[in-house]
Structure 1
Amino acid sequence: MKLVIIGAGFAGMYAALSSARLRDIQGISPDELEIILIAPEPSLVVRPRLYEPKPETLTAPLLDLFAAIDVVYVKGSAETIDTAGRKVHTTDADGTRQTVSYDRLVVATGSRLFRPNIPGLAEHGYSADQLADAVTLDRHIQSLATAPATKGRNTVVVAGGGFTGIEVATEMPARLRDIFGSDVETRIIIVERGAVIAPAMGTEPRPLIEEALRKLGVETRFGAGVASLDATGVTLTSGERIETSTLIWAAGMRAAPLTAQIAAERDNFGRLLVDQALRVSAVPAVFATGDAARAACDDLGHYALMSCQHAIRMGAFAGHNAAAELLGLSTKTYHQKAYVTCLDLGEAGAIFTRGWDPKVEMIGAVAKKTKQEINTAWIYPPRAERAAALAAADPERVIEL
Structure 2
Amino acid sequence: MKQTILIVGGGFAGMWSALGAARLLDQQGKSDSVEVALISPEPVLHLRPRLHEAAPHAMSTPLLPVLEAAGVRYIQGAVSKVQAQQKVVLATGPQGEQFTLAYDRLVLGTGSKLHRPDLPGVREHAFSIDQLDEATALDLHLARLADRPGSAARNTAVVVGGGFTGIELACELPERLRTILGEDVRVIIVECNPEIGPDLGPSPRPLINEALDALGVERILGDGVASVDEHGLVTSSGKRIESHTVIWTGGMRAHALTSQLGGDKDALGRLKVTRELRVEGVSGVFAAGDVAVATTDNEGNQSMMSCQHAMVMGRFAGHNVAADLIGIASLPYTQELYVTCLDLGPWGAMYSEGWDRQIKMTPADAKALKRRINTEWIYPPLASRTATLAAAEPTRRAVA
TM bucket normalised to smaller: over 0.9
The Cα of 1:64 is off from its aligned counterpart by 1.3
Task: State the Cα deviation string for residues 169-195 of structure 1 (Å, max 9, x = none).
Answer: 0000110011011xx221100000101
Q: Report the residue type matching 2:173 in the other structure.
A: M
CA distance in 1, matches of 2:252, 2:358: 25
Instruction: Tell me the equivalent position of 1:147.
Output: 148
Where 1:201 maps in the other structure, the secondary structure is coil
> Which residue of 2 is the match for residue 103 of structure 1?
104
Cα deviations by residue, 1:97-135 (Å, 9 ceiling, x for unpaired): 111101101000100001100100111000000111111
State whether residues 264 and 280 of structure 2, in contact with CA within 8 Å, keep that contact through their aligned partners in structure 1: no
The Cα of 1:399 is off from its aligned counterpart by 4.8
Superimposed CA distance per residue, residues 212-258 of structure 1 (whole angstroms, 9 cap, x where no aligned partner): 11101100011111100111111000111000011110101000111
Paired residues in the alignment total 398
- Match in the other structure for 1:343: 342
Partners in 2 of 1:357 and 1:366 — Cα distance?
20
Distance 1:378 1:176 in 2: 29
CA distance in structure 2 between the aligned counterparts of 1:400 and 1:379, rounded to whole angstroms: 8
Q: Which runs of 5+ in 2 are unaligned?
A: none
What does residue 217 of structure 2 align with? 218
Deviation, structure 1 residue 51 = 0.7
Q: How does 1:13-28 map to 2 (within 5 A)?
A: 13-28=15-30
Q: Partners of 1:399 and 1:116 in 2: how far apart?
A: 32
One-letter amino acid of the structure 1 residue matched with residue 46 of structure 2: V
**What residue is the counterpart of 1:9 in the other structure?**
11
Alpha-carbon separation, structure 1, partners of 2:82 and 2:263: 13
Name the SS for the 2:193 alignment partner.
Answer: coil
Tell me which residue corresponds to 2:310.
311
Cα drift, residue 347 of structure 1:
1.1
Give 1:331's aligned residue: 330
Deviation of the 1:2 alpha carbon: 0.6
Give the structure 1 partner of residue 375 of structure 2.
376
Find the residue that maps to 2:264 and give its secondary structure: coil
Structure 1 residue 56, shift from structure 2 partner: 1.0
Which residue is 1:177 aligned to?
178
Q: What is the alpha-carbon root mean square deviation over aligned residues? A: 1.0
Q: In structure 1, how many angstroms separate the alpha carbons of the residues matched to 2:98 and 2:15?
A: 23
Query: Within the alignment, does 1:396 sit opposite 2:395 as a pair?
Result: yes
Q: Equivalent residue of 1:153, what SS?
A: coil
Structure 2 CA distance for aligned equivalents of residues 213 and 29 of structure 1: 52
User: Structure 1 residue 205: deviation in Å?
Assistant: 1.0
Cα distance between partner residues in 1 of 2:317 and 2:167: 31
How far does residue 364 in structure 1 lie from its aligned partner after superposition?
2.0
| Counterpart Cα distance in 2 of 1:175 and 1:372 | 18
Query: Pairwise mapping of residues 101-140 of structure 1 onto structure 2 (< 5 A)?
Result: 101-140=102-141
Q: Kindly indicate whether residue 210 of structure 2 is the aligned counterpart of residue 208 of structure 1.
A: no
CA contact (8 A) 2:22 2:31 kept: no
User: Structure 1: any 5+ residue segments left out of the alignment?
Assistant: none
Structure 2 equivalent of residue 276 of structure 1: 275
Identity across the alignment (%)? 51
Structure 1 runs of 4+ with >2 Å offset:
398-401
Aligned mates of 1:134, 1:247 — CA distance in 2: 13
Alpha-carbon shift at residue 286 of structure 1 (Å)? 0.5
CA drift of 1:69 comes to: 1.0
Distance 2:397 2:117 in 1: 38
Q: Kindly provide the amino acid, as one letter, of the partner of residue 82 in structure 2.
A: I
CA deviations on 1:142-164 (whole Å, 9 max, x unpaired) are 11011111111100000000110
Do residues 70 (structure 1) and 59 (structure 2) align? no
